[in-house]
A and B are shown apart, each in its own frame.
Chain A
C-alpha cells in the first residue's frame, strides 16, 4: 500500500468522513487517476500534496465527488422496490388516508434511477391515489450526477439495466439513441445537492427514506450520527431502506429491523409484530392492475397485453 494512498485516505476521512479500506486501493486510484491526468499532475503523490495545501477547493471537491459517485440503475437489486410496492406503499396509503400526503427521500441518489424507479411504482398506484400529494426528494453530494438526474436522459445501456421493457415504453420518450424519462415522472422528483454530514433538518420529515450503499463509506461514529438524524427525520411509522448487506450491528440507533422485510428498518416503537398487526402490515400484494382489461384474441400473453395498451396510449 503506497504512502500516497494512505495519505489520500486519511485526507478523505478527515474532510468528508469517507472511510476507504486498504483493499479499496485499486478502486480509489481508478477514480482519482483521471483527475491526476486531467490536471497534468505527476502522480497521486502530487495530487495529495495539493489537497493537503488546501489551495484548490475545486480540486478537493472533484476528488470527493469522484469517490462518492456510484453506479446505479433502475430497480437496482429489485427486492427494495418489490418491498416498496408490496409492503410500504400499501401500508402508508392506508395510514395516510386523511392527509393524502407522502414524502420520500432518496439519499445518495446519484444519477436519479432510484428516485425515478420509486416514482414509476407510485404511478402504478395512481388510480388509488386521487388527490394525493407525493413528493420525492432526491439528494446527492455531487453536482455532476444531479445535473444528469434532472435531465432524465439515459443511454440505451442505462435504460436496459433493471428496467422492464413495458415500463421503458410507458415512461420514456426515445431521443435518437437515448431515452428521456417522461415529464410526468420527472415532475414527481426534486433533486438537490446535499452532504449527509451536514444538517438536513431543512428537508423536513419523510415517510420513506432510501439510503442504500452509501453509509458503508463512513466510519462507525459518522454512520450512527447520520442514521440518528435520519431517524429523527422519519415519520413514526415510516421506513428506512438500507443496502442488502448493511446492518445496524454495532450501531446505537432507535431503529429496528422490519420483521419480514430484509434491509428495511423502522423506528423501534413502530415495528409491526409479524402477522399480528394486520392494519399496520398490509399483506404483500401484487401491483394494482393497470387500466380496465381489453378483449384480445386467444393466445395473447402478458407482454402482448402490455404492448396493446401502449399502442392505445400512443
Chain B
C-alpha cells in the first residue's frame, strides 16, 4: 500500500485529505507543520506528500527544500495543496521540487486527477 503524508496546520483539512486518500488506498500519516513532517520523513519517507504552504514553525516550501536534500529525498512525489494561487507561487513551488500543485479549495476529483497525472493512482 502506498504511503501518503498529509502536511497542513488545519486538522480539518488533514481529515478531509485523509478521507480522500484512504479511499484511493493510501496509508495516511499526518504532519501539523513542516518541522513535524520532516521528523516523520526522517523515520520513513512516504511515497506522496500533500503539502500546505503557510504553516507555523516551518513552511511547506522550507520543508520541501529540506526534504529534497535528505538521502532519498528526491523520491517522494510532493503535491502542494495551498491557498496560494498565483502563477509566481506555482512556479516557485515547481522550481523547489514540487511534482504538482493544487489550489484550495479542492475536491476529491481534483486530487484524483492530479494523482493520476503523476502516476500515483
Q: Are B74 and A301 in contact (CB under 8 A)?
A: yes
Asked if residues A164 and B117 are in contact (CB atoms below 8 Å), the reply is: yes
**B90 close to A (CB within 8 Å):** yes
Given A165-B94, A169-B91, A311-B91, are A78 and B86 also a contact pair (CB < 8 Å)? no
Give the interface size class of chain A.
20 to 34
Encoded as 1 (CB less than 8 Å from any A CB) or 0, chain B from 102 to 117 comes to 1101110110011011
**Residue numbers in A under 8 Å from B114 (CB-CB):** 160
Give the bracket for the number of chain B residues in contact with chain A.
20 to 34
Q: 1/0 per position for A159-172, CB-CB distance to B under 8 A?
A: 01110111011000
Which residue, A160, A162, A169, A306, has most C-beta atoms of chain B within 10 A? A160
Contact B87 A169 (CB under 8 A): yes
* A289 interfacial contact with B, CB 8 Å: no
B40 at the interface (CB under 8 A from A): no
Complex CA–CA separation, A306 to B101 (angstroms):
13
Partner of A303, one of B86, B87, B100, B107: B100
Residues of A within 8 A of B86 (CB): 174
Distance between A304 CB and nearest chain B CB, rounded to angstroms:
5
Residues of B within 8 A of A (CB): 68, 74, 85-87, 90-91, 94-103, 105-107, 109-110, 113-114, 116-117
Closest 8 CB pairs of A and B: A307-B94, A307-B95, A303-B94, A165-B101, A162-B113, A160-B110, A307-B91, A164-B117
